[in-house]
Chain A
Amino acid sequence: MRFSIDSEQLESGAVKRVEEMIQQSPSVCYQCGKCSAGCPVHYLMDIPPNVVIRLLQMGQTDRVLESRTIWVCASCNTCSTRCPKEFKIAECMDALRELALATGKDTPSEKDIKLFHREFLKSTRRFGKVHEASLAAFYKLKSRHFFADVGAGIKMFFKGKIRPIPHRVKGVREIRQMFEAAGYGQKVEQ
């Protein structure tokens, strides 16, 4: 990888947006690598989490927004929990996903992940919590991965982990209000 750095890039809008979203500057990171050390999905990433932060420090936002890493991140928060500088890495990843969608820089290779995210949110909005059976059905229809993970699905069904009939939570109205307040409708359209 090869690039030039200039002060315009360092001041670029993308880094500023991330800073605003997470209310923290990536400059606090001193590159100890503990986030990458503990990341359970590190092996699926093209660049490790600490390098994502490093590239933000150097103003290389395009490379970050185009990476698989931000989509592979499972938001488990191990990184944020263990960070010695208390940098909110998982939140930063979330902010980067949002930015990638907004700027259209999101990588096409991870479209299934984006699809899953969408279906997950739809299901949550509808029932107040996720309904696994319908989520799986919609995801499979749209992604056309009809037979993936079928074995695991059957096992889960017989263990009572997947309910065929959805259960709606009491405060679903309030949850929908939260979705609207966060600008859900516009973002999905984008």
Chain B
Amino acid sequence: MSRIGVFICHCGENIARTVDCARLAEESGKLPGVMVSVDYKYMCSDPGQNMIKRAIAEHKLDGVVVAACSPHMHEPTFRAAVVQSGMNPYLCEMANIREHCSWVHTDRELATEKAIDLVRVMVEKVKRNQELFPIRVPITKRALVIGGGIAGIQAALDIAAGGHEVILVERQPSVGGNMARLSETFPTLDCSQCILTPRMVEVARDPRITLYTYAEVEEVEGFVGNFKVKIRQKAKSVNADICNGCGDCWNKCPMKKIPSEFDAGLGYRTAIYVPFPQAVPNTPVIDREHCLKFLKDKCGVCAKVCTRGAIDYEMQDEIIEAEVGAIVVATGYDLYGIGKEQPNERWKGYGEYNYDTYKDVINGIQFERLLSASGPTQGEVRRPSDGKVPKSVAFIACVGSRDPEKGIEYCSKICCMYVAKHAMLYKHKVHDGQPYIFYMDIRAGGKNYEEFVRRAVEEDGVLYIRGRVSKIYKDGDQLVVVGADTLSDSQVQIRADLVVLATAMVPHKNAYEFAQKIGIACGSEGFYSEAHPKLRPVETMTAGIYLAGACQAPKDIPDAVAQASAAASKVQLLFSSDELEREPIVAKVNEVTCVHCRNCIRVCPYSAIDDKEIRDRHGNLIRMVAEVNEGMCMGCGTCVAACPSKSVQLAGFNDEQVFAEILALGHE
């Protein structure tokens, strides 16, 4: 005979408003096997928990049912409480009479009846609960950081500083990401490369960090503490061990007119190239799509001029396999592509801004390159069409952002600030120039941000015009920008020599496919989802995978760095113990009845079930069965449903328990 205690919570008014808790306690007390049944205003409070603890001792209870909110909220609370009285935590269950009852019903009588049913069901389950003990799995104390922008660099450095090995994978030939392309950074106007390049160098130098550039993560398998990853090292066609980065090859390469990705198409690069002078590593790669050797089997100049014989046209992609315990995803963002061609059906371009047609309508990153000393104009602001120094520049904020019609509803967060910075830097370089900014709101929430924007207006004479731009058309060699100023209720026209569009930050173009590949979730707009928007901002729903930087949401450099350090500290927290404790709610195969039909192996969404050989003491194979890897099993129960011989059972939710619940529900 069981000795169960039932504890009913009023949750203030949340439950008591709709459910007659006193009657529920009375009815629950009559259930067979229930020794004590009480109700209380706040069961989760200290007095409430003490009530449970005392009852366990007084009535020698062997099972507890707490009828309260969702187990998502307070199951850990109550399980911890019963442990203090010496009870196994898995003998405590919750009946959800709030979300499943009081919040969704209005009729007090019927809701109370339903609550009684819910308690009865849970009492029948708890009678059949068994003691369970946490599963321990070993942890591989090595981290994988995906993406070598500022967030990835910061995360890698922090984890390495904690004494752990890090594998940093970057898709481009150099680390640095988008931050390396910026000229100056708001709100302090310090040079982006000056503050970034020391970090890049450090990443390459740190013996605990293994850096793979021009590489991509192909496959992620396994689970927290025990991931197996495959990394594709794309063929660089240059032997990095021999190359000394002298630059003879790219200086002699005849393919000089390839638009440079780093300069956002405003400058050119060669077919064998390093993306920018401070690249880390400073080893060139051959872009096989543009190299004459690969296109027509001609040229071969780079191999001829290389004094060290580092050029290797035969080089093949290589798959590197590694075992890691944690993964930090820092894959960054892309820029919304203004023009008519869009990567998906949701997004529409701005035909009215003529970005595709007019050379002097450029985007924010292109303007950064025009301002940058390492850019195509060596830092002089010259417009792309004729190289003239523009005497008036119109900056347009919210191009893409906050425009549901174009498919992007969110605010890209950083544009208000970089537009102010652009206008300011332009004015610092062209003293007699006039910057205009068309905007909807100025969102300058951040340390010293508002002050920065006011400085642009009051000291540098930037004219803010509050309204979206309707169209941009050409008149002579100038561009006419037609906008509005809602502050003075007027339509405004401006003649500008150059127009800079502050384009939205959008998820990386392969973000969705990549999320599927590594098993994390995306929001509807395509940014990776954190486990909780407030309380778990750097974790994903997949244990052991963390987020850093703009792959999670648009953010500026300080925020990206902060998140990267937070992710790194989460990784170090994970690595601080040798073993990981997991919930014992996992499937187990009965090897006696298993016929090795392999149904469970096929249906398992986590690839947690594998074949197992059963051998006699001489090592002869007797037969095969299925075996669940306790470290990987997430307790979803798919295998239980699929097993034709009922040989798989889920601990904590076995057939006996579930059927008892169903029968209790049918009982009148």
Task: Write out, one digit per residue, whether chain B residues 484-523 have a CB within 8 A of any chain A CB (1) or not (0).
Answer: 0101111111110000000000000000000000000000
CB distance from A51 to the nearest CB of B (A): 5
Query: Do B488 and A1 touch (CB < 8 A)?
Result: yes
A31 contacts which chain B residues (CB < 8 A)?
466, 487
Query: Do A54 and B488 touch (CB < 8 A)?
Result: yes
Chain A, residue nearest B483 (CB): A5
Query: Do B434 and A3 touch (CB < 8 A)?
Result: no
Task: Write out, one digit per residue, whether chain A residues 5-44 have a CB within 8 A of any chain B CB (1) or not (0).
Answer: 1110010000000000000010110110000000000000
CA–CA, A96 and B217, complex, Å? 67
Residue B463 at the A interface, CB < 8 A? yes
Query: Do A1 and B489 touch (CB < 8 A)?
Result: yes
Query: Do A54 and B485 touch (CB < 8 A)?
Result: yes
Query: Do B492 and A7 touch (CB < 8 A)?
Result: no
Residue A4 at the B interface, CB < 8 A? yes
Q: B463's contact among A2, A5, A51, by CB below 8 Å, is which?
A: A5
Interface centre among B434, B487, B493 (most CB of A within 10 A): B487
Contacts A10-B434, A30-B454, A57-B463 known; A4 to B493 CB distance under 8 Å? yes
Residue A58 at the B interface, CB < 8 A? yes
Interface centre among B463, B465, B491 (most CB of A within 10 A): B463
CA–CA, A11 and B491, complex, Å? 20
Chain A, residue nearest B442 (CB): A30
Residue B386 at the A interface, CB < 8 A? no
Query: Do A3 and B492 touch (CB < 8 A)?
Result: yes
Residue B199 at the A interface, CB < 8 A? no
CA–CA, A3 and B483, complex, Å? 10
Chain B, residue nearest A60 (CB): B488
Query: Do A6 and B392 touch (CB < 8 A)?
Result: yes
B485 contacts which chain A residues (CB < 8 A)?
54, 58
Residue B457 at the A interface, CB < 8 A? yes
B491 contacts which chain A residues (CB < 8 A)?
1-3
Residue A135 at the B interface, CB < 8 A? no
Query: Do A3 and B461 touch (CB < 8 A)?
Result: no
CA–CA, A124 and B228, complex, Å? 92
Chain A, residue nearest B480 (CB): A4
CB distance from B87 to the nearest CB of A (A): 61
A51 contacts which chain B residues (CB < 8 A)?
487-489
A4 contacts which chain B residues (CB < 8 A)?
492-495
Residue B436 at the A interface, CB < 8 A? yes
CA–CA, A6 and B434, complex, Å? 8
Main SS class of interface, A: mixed
Residue B391 at the A interface, CB < 8 A? yes
Query: Do A2 and B490 touch (CB < 8 A)?
Result: yes
Query: Do B493 and A5 touch (CB < 8 A)?
Result: yes
Query: Do B494 and A3 touch (CB < 8 A)?
Result: no
CA–CA, A4 and B42, complex, Å? 66
Query: Do A58 and B392 touch (CB < 8 A)?
Result: no
Tally of contact residues, A, Cβ under 8 A:
20
Q: A27's contact among B392, B436, B457, B466, by CB below 8 Å, is which?
A: B457
Contacts A6-B495, A7-B392, A58-B465 known; A28 to B458 CB distance under 8 Å? yes
A7 contacts which chain B residues (CB < 8 A)?
391-392, 434
CA–CA, A7 and B177, complex, Å? 37
Residue A45 at the B interface, CB < 8 A? no
A28 contacts which chain B residues (CB < 8 A)?
458
Chain B, residue nearest A28 (CB): B458
Residue A130 at the B interface, CB < 8 A? no
CB distance from A94 to the nearest CB of B (A): 21
B488 contacts which chain A residues (CB < 8 A)?
1, 51, 54-55, 58, 60
CA–CA, A72 and B625, complex, Å? 94
Interface centre among A5, A10, A55, A58 (most CB of B within 10 A): A5
CA–CA, A25 and B493, complex, Å? 23
B457 contacts which chain A residues (CB < 8 A)?
27, 30
Task: Write out, one digit per residue, whether chain B residues 462-493 have a CB within 8 A of any chain A CB (1) or not (0).
Answer: 01011000000000000000000101111111
Chain A, residue nearest B493 (CB): A4
Task: Write out, one digit per residue, whether chain B residues 425-468 have a CB within 8 A of any chain A CB (1) or not (0).
Answer: 00000000010100000000000000000100110010101100
Query: Do A1 and B487 touch (CB < 8 A)?
Result: no
CA–CA, A113 and B485, complex, Å? 31
CA–CA, A54 and B392, complex, Å? 20
CA–CA, A6 and B496, complex, Å? 9
CB distance from A171 to the nearest CB of B (A): 41
CA–CA, A7 and B496, complex, Å? 10
Chain B, residue nearest A55 (CB): B488
B489 contacts which chain A residues (CB < 8 A)?
1, 51
B487 contacts which chain A residues (CB < 8 A)?
31, 50-51, 54
CB distance from A124 to the nearest CB of B (A): 36
CB distance from B14 to the nearest CB of A (A): 42
Query: Do B436 and A5 touch (CB < 8 A)?
Result: yes
A25 contacts which chain B residues (CB < 8 A)?
458
CB distance from A123 to the nearest CB of B (A): 37
B465 contacts which chain A residues (CB < 8 A)?
5, 58
CA–CA, A57 and B461, complex, Å? 10
CA–CA, A51 and B489, complex, Å? 9
A5 contacts which chain B residues (CB < 8 A)?
436, 463, 465, 492-494
B436 contacts which chain A residues (CB < 8 A)?
5
CB distance from B395 to the nearest CB of A (A): 14
CB distance from B316 to the nearest CB of A (A): 59
CA–CA, A10 and B434, complex, Å? 9
CB distance from B500 to the nearest CB of A (A): 17
A1 contacts which chain B residues (CB < 8 A)?
488-491
A10 contacts which chain B residues (CB < 8 A)?
434, 461, 463
CB distance from A104 to the nearest CB of B (A): 24
CA–CA, A7 and B457, complex, Å? 15
B434 contacts which chain A residues (CB < 8 A)?
6-7, 10
Contacts A/B (CB < 8 Å), 27 sampled: A1-B488, A1-B489, A2-B490, A3-B492, A3-B493, A4-B494, A4-B495, A5-B436, A5-B463, A5-B465, A5-B493, A5-B494, A6-B434, A6-B494, A6-B495, A7-B391, A27-B457, A27-B461, A28-B458, A31-B466, A51-B487, A51-B488, A51-B489, A54-B485, A54-B488, A58-B488, A58-B492
Q: Which 9 A-B pairs have the closest CB atoms?
A: A7-B434, A1-B490, A4-B493, A2-B491, A54-B488, A54-B487, A31-B487, A27-B458, A51-B488
B residues with a Cβ closer than 8 A to A are 391-392, 434, 436, 454, 457-458, 461, 463, 465-466, 485, 487-495
For the A-B complex with A4-B495, A5-B436, A50-B487 known, give 12 more contacts whose Cβ atoms are closer than 8 Å. Answer: A1-B488, A3-B492, A7-B434, A10-B461, A10-B463, A27-B458, A51-B487, A51-B488, A51-B489, A54-B487, A58-B463, A58-B492
